[in-house]
Amino acid sequence: MSSTFLNKELPIILIFATGVIMIASYFVSAPEIYLDPLASNLSQAASLVAAYATILGIVTLAIIHINHVVKRTKGQWIYSIVALALALLMIVVGFIGELGTHPYFIWLYQYPLIALDTTIYSLLAFYIVSAAFRAFKVRSVEALILVVAGIFVMLMNAPVGAAIWSGFPTIGNWIMSVPNSSGFRGFIIGAAIGAIAIGLRVLLGKEKGVLGRS
């Protein structure tokens, strides 16, 4: 077998074959060729490949930090040691007893990890309020609609809206279920058409970028 076949054509054939099996299993019943169990096993296998890919991602992250430590990158290598040490700690604790069930493992998640993760997410509250003052300017009809819809939805979400005027939640609900729903429905329909078209191109081998080649 030529290396071009293994390198370029085999992956495209695999994409086509696996994709067709998944689509076909939805429309046709073919127990004589075990189509249904084949499709079921294939989706389980693909999930596992995704799991291996996650491990690959973690290994890559570790390599980046190890490189920083080895090269003593200024202003970074000490932090890289911290990241590597805590990753290792979490992994070691995770291996005690049944994988990932030890109370210390849950403790590391419940206290340090949750505290840091939620705090970093919550920083956006500050940025969003600051941006509300600096950037949310009504310069056009579109901007006016954006601001008005935003304010009504905020007054629907916050109980104070209904306390000020009962119309706020009513109008907010209407914005959510009519203009908002229609706008996002337009996106969904458009995105679905796009995704189907791109999906078919991928299956037919026209989108080689998915394999990491230009």
Compute the least distance from the CB of residue 187 to other proteins, in Å.
7
Taking CB under 8 A as the criterion, the residue among 28, 56, 66, 70 binding other proteins is: 56
Counting contacts by CB under 8 A, is residue 51 touching other proteins? yes
Counting contacts by CB under 8 A, is residue 58 touching other proteins? yes
For other proteins, the binding residues in 73-132 under the rule CB under 8 A are 79-80, 82-91, 94-95, 98-101, 105-126, 128-130, 132
C-alpha count within 13 angstroms, C-beta hemisphere, residue 205: 11
Counting contacts by CB under 8 A, is residue 66 touching other proteins? no
Q: Pick the closer one to other proteins by CB: 32 or 140.
A: 140
The residue among 185, 179, 191 whose CA lies nearest residue 146 is: 179
For residue 3, the SS3 value is helix
**SS3 per residue for 12-76:** HHHHHHHHHHHHHHHHCCCHHHCHHHHHHHHHHHHHHHHHHHHHHHHHHHHHHHHHHHHHCCCCC
Compute the least distance from the CB of residue 29 to other proteins, in Å.
13
Answer for the pair 67, 85: CB distance below 8 angstroms, yes or no: no
Site string for other proteins, 21-50 (x = CB under 8 A): xxx--xx--------x--xxxxxxxxxxxx
77: number of Cβ within 10 Å = 16
Compute the least distance from the CB of residue 32 to other proteins, in Å.
19
Q: Pick the closer one to other proteins by CB: 32 or 123.
A: 123
For other proteins, the binding residues in 183-202 under the rule CB under 8 A are 183-193, 195-196, 199-200, 202
- Angle (CA) 23-205-9 rounded to 5° is 110
Q: How many residues line the site for other proteins (CB under 8 A)? A: 144
